[in-house]
Structure formats: C-alpha cells, structure tokens
Amino acid sequence: MAAPLRWPAESLWEAVVPLLPGFTVEILPEIDSTNSELMRRARAGQADPVLLVAERQTAGRGRRGRGWVSSDGDSLTFSLGLPLGPADWSGLSLAVGVAVAQALHPDIGLKWPNDLWVQGRKLAGILVETASVVGAGADGAGSPLRRHAVIGIGINIAPRPPVEGSDIVPASLRELWPQADAPGALARAVPALVQAVLAFEREGFAPFVAGFAARDVLRGRDVTLSDGTTGRAAGVDRGGALLVHTAAGLQTVSSSEVSVRPAP
C-alpha cells in the first residue's frame, strides 16, 4: 500500500489566511468532485473562502461537459472557492493558468483558454464556475446576491495512460520536476493562485497579458476552431480573448464553449 500523503494544510493556511480572512483548508480522501462540492456549498450560502483537496474524485468534471479522470497520488485535484467581485470576469481562467504555470515550472506552456501543456501534451486543466450567494447584510437582513467563484484545478503528477479513445499519453509534472508529488505541487500552486485571483479582482486580466504571452503555445501557429474556422493564432487581447487571423479577417474568440486545436 502506498504511504499516506502528507498534505501541507497548516502551512498553506498560514500563508493564505492573511490574504483571505476566514480561509480554511480541507483535505478529503474521496468526493465526487471538488468543484461540485464547493458549488453545492456556495448555493447553500456557505461563502467563506475554502481550499478543498480530494485524494480521489469519483465524478471529476472538465470543461464543456467532459469528465476529468485522475488517480490517487498520481494526480492533484483541488478547488478554491471564494467570494469574488471583479469589474469584468473575462480572462479569470487564463490568469489562473498563468499563476499556476509560473508557480510550477518555467517550461510549462499555456494553451488557450486554460490548459497547461508540456511539449504538446496536456498537463493540467482548469474549470472555473460561479454561483450566486445570498449574504447576510450588516443589519442582519439579506443583502443582494454576491458572486462566488469556484476554481478547480487538476494536475497530472505522475505519468498516466491515454484517455479513452486517444493514443496521446498526457503530460505529467514529473517529466519536468522528477521529485514532484501532489502535496509539493499544491504547496507551490496555492499561494500563487490566491495572489493571482486577488490581483485579478482588483485589476482584471491586464497584469497577466505578458505572462500569458510568454507561455502561449498557440501564438503563430495554424489552428482550427471547433466551429470549423481555420486561421493563425495571434495571441490574446487585454480581455483574454483569443485572436485568430482568418480568411475573413482578425477574429476574436472569447467563448469558453469554443475549443481550438493547433494544426499538427
């Protein structure tokens, strides 16, 4: 049997609570999905900032209705839930990608909108969801709805088999950082993630544009969008939308429902 993982719950709490008063850290052996759990809690009015880590997810969720498969110890799966009120939400998931990539390794690339890549293969995915929470006002009466963000991240730590229907072996953090384990990756990623989310709330995506550009794996490459449009990727704008030179001119792609793949 594998040795139990030693999670850095206390040191993370100490690092983050000055930034997020009321912050708590929870490590669970198993849950359906850390995002689903924090969305349920937010909808039930539990709005305090929380980091929820699961050693195993039985129904992990990815973007665009897909699942997210992970295995004990070989993956890191966690979600950060917190009240958030940026003036403009566009680019939040890209900002998260920039922060996590920078915290983990210089050679991690970013594939719009928010996948972390290593040498053309997916290392990690990000799922950002929001809920409305009714908060209690200072007078004890219900205050207007506030937004709550749930930012879920799944990272392959050790090599894993290809997902069903594919022959591409996903990337793993140990390719770049041979001693990596899930607790060590969490310790690096979470403080950077919290700082980035708070900077995003204050300033939007603008402070992250250069960081994204430095790791943008699509820039200058021929790409095909899921609606069939083809063109050449030309970076992202100040709102995090993908720019693509197409036959019909420069197209701005902002919908997270659109997927994009580079030409082989």
Binding site for ligand BTN (CB under 6 A): 33-35, 57, 60-63, 66, 68, 77-79, 115, 125-127, 152-154
Cα–Cα distance measured from residue 188 to residue 184, given in angstroms and rounded to the nearest whole number: 6
- DSSP 8-state symbol, 183: H
Residue type (1 letter), 190: V
Is position 64 annotated as part of the catalytic site? no
Q: In whole angstroms, what is the distance from residue 11 CA to residue 31 CA? A: 23
List the one residue out of 156, 160, 106, 150 whose CA is nearest residue 128. Answer: 150
Q: Which of 63, 111, 215, 219 is flagged as catalytic?
A: 63
Q: Which residue is nearest to ligand BTN (CB)?
A: 125
The DSSP-derived string for 47-109 is -S-EEEEES-BSS-B-GGG-B----TTTEEEEEEEEE---S--TTHHHHHHHHHHHHH-TT-E
Residue 37 has which token pair? 């759990």
For residue 125, the minimal CB distance to ligand BTN (Å) is 2
Out of 122, 146, 188, 232, which one is annotated catalytic?
122
Nearer to ligand BTN, 56 or 245 (CB): 56
In the complex, what is the shortest distance from the CB of residue 87 to ligand BTN, in angstroms, rounded to a whole number? 25
Nearer of residues 34 and 172 to ligand BTN, judged by Cβ:
34
How far is 89 from 130, CA to CA, in rounded Å?
10
In whole angstroms, how close is the CB of 121 to ligand BTN at the nearest point?
A: 13
- Rounded to a whole number of angstroms, the minimum distance from the CB of residue 250 to ligand BTN is 27
Of 126 and 234, the one with the shorter C-beta distance to ligand BTN is 126
Residue nearer to ligand BTN on the CB measure, 61 or 215: 61
Q: What angle do CA 211, 225, 252 make, to 5 degrees?
A: 55
CB of 81 to ligand BTN, least distance (A): 11
Based on CB atoms, which residue is closest to ligand BTN, 20 or 31?
Answer: 31
Is 261 one of the catalytic residues? yes
Quick one: 78 exposed, middle or buried, by C-beta within 10 A (0-12, 13-18, 19+)?
buried
Residues identified as active-site: 63, 122, 261
